Amino acid sequence: MPVPPAPVLNPQNMEPVTPDFLNVLFPMELIMQEVSTDRYIDIPEEVQDIYKLYRPTPLLRARRLEKILDTPAHIYYKYEGASPAGSHKPNTAIPQAFYNKVTGTKALTTETGAGQWGSALALACQLFDLDLEVYMVKVSYQQKPYRRILMETYGAQVFASPTDKTQFGQSVLEQDPESNGSLGIAIAEAVEAAATSGGAKKYGIGSVLNHVLLHQTIVGEEVLKQMDMADEYPDVVVGCVGGGSNFAGIAYPFLRQNLLEGQRTRLLAVEPTASPSLTKGVYTFDYGDSAKLAPIVKMYTLGHDFVPPPIHAGGLRYHGMAPSLCALYEAGYIEAKAVPQLATFDAAVMFSRAEGILPAPESAHAIRGAIDEALDAKEKGEERVILFNLSGHGHFDLEAYDAYHNGELQDFEYPEKDIAEAMQTLPEVPQPA
């Protein structure tokens, strides 16, 4: 990291977290990866064997899209939807399941927004003979029934969060029986289920933490080799951001090249205007979940009580962002922009008609960012090499596309006053002497 990381704090005493605190949720090998300063960490053979089901994923040039846009830019995309679960998420689900298995874990709990992470971990747990409980944000549970069916087909139990299975879920339902849920609430339920299991269950997480972003960098490492085969190098790398894992996965290896090899690639994170953590959030310490059970981290946050509008990009509705990504953004190493839902679906439909791949609504934010870059290059008469991460397909999101075609989608802007109000409930973190 070119900027020093902020400490991760125990929510019970505001002291830096210890391995013992984290070991309630994670196996020790993942905790060691979380704090490692090694540049490279070996991928276990058992994980590599499963990666062979779908890795390396293809890097494709969007020539038909370039033609439609009439741009001098060259547009490339890394297609992570080629995985069995349909997204980039197995890149970390597989090693997380492996490390839990070898340390004797029998079952995992997790949350999921749109269902991509839940699907990936359900697959990984099945491959390593682990049970899995998935707390799925209720609005996505209702919008995306086929994601639930896929998870259940892989052997997972799936619950619409908030549930009556946890104390925190019950408290949410008491206040609002019709709650649509949020990732903060679902995380809280999954963490509580693991932490109160007496060691019978551990917790798996699909984004935000360092070890998750580390596992995802296999995407960017492959792209570096593939771009070399294409005899080009990106001027800008684009990815969607919710918690930060797929963006970091493709962008961090290029950041390394910027820092160590003198490259000057721009790194652009694209988020929804309905959940604008980087572009409207406050850079401060906040809880990682709504129940204040997860560690406190320094990040761009909309407040841990944030309940997002029901946009279809369910995987991008987190209230915060990966701490390492936030530190890099604050220091100016990364750029960010927010795009509205309708413009995002405009881009998704244009891309699908040009390239034949139906993108997930989350991934469509990266497509919107790439198209905007290509149009900017056209306006300025510049040659520009644009690379984006197509982090998942949208085969289970057809209801969202149907709503778009029928004119039923709308844009959401998260109000500044709501963010200001949310800042009143931040944890009181002691300032260093």
In words, the CATH class of domain 47-86+216-419 is: alpha beta
Q: How would residue 348 be classed by pLDDT, with cut points 50, 70 and 90?
A: very high
Give dist(CA 274, CA 302) in Å, integer: 11
Give dist(CA 83, CA 74) in Å, integer: 25
Higher pLDDT among residues 214 and 7, named by residue: 214
Closest CA to 328 of 267, 272, 389, 275: 267
Q: What is the pLDDT of residues 88-115, one digit of tens each?
A: 999 999 999 999 999 999 999 999 988 8
What is the chain's alpha carbon radius of gyration, rounded to the nearest angstrom? 20
Q: Which amino acid is present at 190?
A: A
Closest CA to 242 of 339, 139, 314, 186: 314
pLDDT at 113: 83
pLDDT at 311: 62
Q: Which two tokens stand for residue 269?
A: 């994170």
CATH number assigned to the domain with residue range 89-203, chosen from the 4 options 3.40.50.720, 1.10.150.120, 3.40.50.1100, 3.20.20.60: 3.40.50.1100
Q: How would residue 310 be classed by pLDDT, with cut points 50, 70 and 90?
A: low
pLDDT at 313: 60
Other Cβ atoms less than 10 A from the Cβ of 265: the count is 17
Q: How would residue 332 be classed by pLDDT, with cut points 50, 70 and 90?
A: very high
Give dist(CA 77, CA 388) in Å, integer: 5
pLDDT at 312: 62
Q: Is the pLDDT of residue 314 over 60?
A: no
Rounded to 5 degrees, φ, ψ at 391 are -80, -10
Closest CA to 408 of 363, 342, 344, 354: 342
pLDDT at 315: 63
Give dist(CA 235, CA 116) in Å, integer: 29
Q: What is the pLDDT of residues 115-134, one digit of tens each?
A: 899 999 999 999 999 999 99
Q: Give domain limits for the chain.
A: 47-86+216-419, 89-203
Q: Which two tokens stand for residue 122?
A: 């359900």
Bridging pattern class, strands 385-390 and 74-79: parallel
Q: Is the pLDDT of residue 346 over 80?
A: yes
pLDDT at 107: 97
Contact 175, 154 (CB under 8 A): no
38 Rama sector, left if φ>0, alpha if ψ -120 to 50, beta otherwise: beta
Q: What is the pLDDT of residues 207-236, one digit of tens each?
A: 999 999 999 999 999 999 999 999 999 999
The structure tokens 């099945």 sit at 126
Give dist(CA 271, CA 322) in Å, integer: 13
Closest CA to 25 of 215, 157, 211, 205: 205
pLDDT at 415: 81
| Residues 73-91, mean pLDDT to the nearest whole number | 97
Q: How would residue 1 be classed by pLDDT, with cut points 50, 70 and 90?
A: confident
pLDDT at 85: 95
Q: Which two tokens stand for residue 375?
A: 């149009």
Contact 262, 233 (CB under 8 A): no
Domain 47-86+216-419 shares a fold with domain 89-203: yes
DSSP state of 295: P
What proportion of the chain, given as a percentage, has pLDDT over 90? 76
pLDDT at 289: 80
| Residues 362-389, mean pLDDT to the nearest whole number | 97
pLDDT at 292: 83
Average pLDDT, rounded, for the chain: 93
